[in-house]
Structure 1
Amino acid sequence: MAVKMIAVDMDGTFLNSHQDYNREKFSKLYQQMKQQDVRFVVASGNQYYQLKTFFPEIEQELSFVAENGAYVISEGKEIFSGEIPSDLIQEVLTILADFEEGHTILCGKNSAYVGENEPDSFIEHGSKYYHRLKKVSNLSEVKNDTLFKFALSFPVEQVDEVLERLAEVLGDKLVPVSSGHGDVDLIVPGIHKAHGLMKLQELWGIQNHEIAAFGDSGNDFEMLKHAGHSYVMSNGQPNVKVAAKEIILSNDEDGVLVKIEELLEN
């Protein structure tokens, strides 16, 4: 059965270690996708305003499952937005205050927000992934935006322990997922990348078995289980490799583009 949707994670998957991709090769493949009526979907934990900068010529043609599925945009139009209730935001901020080595970005539809007391190095790191990032005196004072995700950062060696602790204290209110490099996202239960793909499937009448998905981290797990054709990068996390049908070349070997070329030829 032919593939009708190709969904790619970005960091560690589509993007190489230099935060870029083989633009010439992708451009040729993208023309083939259009000819074959295959939808190309960017599915990432990152902010929509950051993701679209990777595809300046075609961003108005593409679909984005941004913020781990909390914000879905197709051809410049909003398809879906999640939301965390304000009382839960306050509760989580109180919980996070007990995590001494953690840093927090609060993600919303209009912008992401960071406390002005966070170290400059963290704010600089955050601005790579959140092109709209506002400094505020206190995250608990953020109003007038739809807030749908917490993006946390911890020392890499603490991540497994942090994930366990967060899962314990949050219960079923928010789900902690690893997105690589010491980053942990707190997402609304049931609103993940696979949920974002489902919103687009409804729009286009595409079945699960017609989707090819590519990922490398814990936040790709549901999407990989959901797609009929699922691929994990050889540089992917070991616990994610079990979710995919096939392990492919690494992100530094154009693994995604090599596999897309194969899929389009079949």
Structure 2
Amino acid sequence: MIKLIATDMDGTLLDSNNKINPEFYEVFEKLKEKDIIFAAASGRQYYNLVDRFEDIKDNMMFIAENGTFVMHKGKEILLNSLDRRIALELIKIGHTIENAYVILCGKKAAYIDNTDKRFMEQVNKYYAKVKIVDDLSKVHDDILKVTICDFNGSENNSYKYFTDYNDKVQIAVAGEIWLDMMAKGVNKGLAISKLQKLLNIKHEETMVFGDYLNDLEMMQSAYHSYAMENAHSDLKKVARFMAKSNDDNGVVRTIKEKLEL
């Protein structure tokens, strides 16, 4: 019996046009009737996720900012903050990377110090609450993560700038141009593990879906772990099962089939 379903958003539940298949909402209602918790587990900001699920937000869980901030029915369940001193060091390094921009992700908002047009298009896609500041080091908020938007590529470019911090922070390649840095050990998988203990849900009662490297630990947190057909090759190696691609409504199709909805 499945009691918790968690899915990544981009490249997973969302298709290539950034849309959710309308069939999802029918399936969600059936999950609700069966008391199965549905969670959006994403690198996206909590407020962005709430906007995407406006009509059902009060009946689902949000594992936001790559597991650093978890909300359920409007209540804060988990908060994993990043040490401020380390965050400032990461920001300083981020500012030295050519063709890359820094986002300081806080509990109350996302903070940026650059309004480049191409960068802003990306910020507005993933963040609903954004504040433009002159100096990121002067921000006073619970710091969830430091994110680098690297138009030269996160996996092969910006990641190498932070290798000396592998023992201090959790570094996740969250997309082709996204690099997320959280408190050490914090990720989507840890968040799900904590929720399983809190809600008395077993590993084999959990189903997860993902497509990229920031979903690696999440694959290990559930027996029913699905990599999308379009997923990164390294994620496919650790997932137990495969789902159709995000453009083929893979998440919804798998849930309907496996839970016989």
Please give the TM-score of this superposition, normalised by the length of structure 1: 0.93
Tell me whether 1:201 sits opposite 2:199 in the alignment: no
Question: 2:151 — aligned with what?
Answer: 155
SS at match of 1:160: coil
SS at match of 2:239: coil
Question: 1:98 — aligned with what?
Answer: 96
SS at match of 1:159: coil
Question: 1:112 — aligned with what?
Answer: 110
Tell me whether 1:40 sits opposite 2:38 in the alignment: yes
The one-letter code matched in structure 2 to 1:133 is V
- 1:175·1:186 contact (CA, 8 Å) conserved in 2? yes
SS at match of 1:21: coil
Q: Give the count of matched residue pairs.
A: 261
How does 1:10-49 map onto structure 2 within 5 Å? 10-23=9-22, 25-49=23-47
Q: Distance in 1 between matches of 2:225 and 2:192?
A: 13
How does 1:1-266 map onto structure 2 within 5 Å? 2-23=1-22, 25-115=23-113, 117-143=114-140, 145-157=141-153, 159-166=155-162, 168-265=163-260
SS at match of 1:235: coil
Which sections of structure 1, spanning at least 5 residues, go unmatched?
none
Q: Distance in 1 between matches of 2:88 and 2:229?
A: 39
Q: Distance in 1 between matches of 2:227 and 2:64?
A: 19
The one-letter code matched in structure 2 to 1:259 is T
Q: Distance in 2 between matches of 1:253 and 1:31?
A: 21
Structure 1 residues 192 and 157, CA gap change in structure 2 (3 angstroms): closer
How far off is 1:169 after superposition?
2.2
Q: Distance in 2 between matches of 1:240 and 1:192?
A: 15
How far off is 1:157 after superposition?
4.5
Task: Let me know the Cα RMSD of the aligned residues.
Answer: 1.5
Sequence identity (%) = 36
How far off is 1:164 after superposition?
3.4
Q: Distance in 2 between matches of 1:34 and 1:74?
A: 14
Runs of 4+ in structure 1 over 3 Å off: none
Q: Which moved more, 1:91-100 or 1:60-69?
A: 91-100
Please give the TM-score of this superposition, normalised by the length of structure 2: 0.95
